[in-house]
Structure 1
């Protein structure tokens, strides 16, 4: 087996990151939750929520799953408008 160094996952293309950001913020606001409450419920930092909503984060599926759960929705809803 070749000795390979694991690489970081590739960043989201900017257009997709921005659509995810818009959908996430709208979903959070519709749930009447603050960024702080969302972060606490998802078990992530407030900075991560802010970066997601700014379209500058490179989230893992685990992070998206946690944030979606905190907003009482699922990843499909958050990603639906990005494809």
Structure 2
């Protein structure tokens, strides 16, 4: 069965940058894992895109800060692929 296709309006370069960053991080912080799940779901007049990896994770107390500009999780182990 062929998947549905949707037209997404937005800044092409910014959308590309967000997707590339999400996928790069999923790969970088999941060096021993081979699966990354990418989903796109239509919600009324929006598209929800999610990227799931099975890597080292983020401490729950750091999650509220994830979308702060320049925030980095300092305690991340440095044993990941670059």
TM exceeding 0.5: no
Report the TM-score when normalising by structure 1: 0.35
- Structure with greater strand percent: 2
* Higher alpha-carbon Rg: 2
Name the structure, 1 or 2, with higher relative contact order (CA <8 Å, separation 6+). 1
Report the TM-score when normalising by structure 2: 0.36
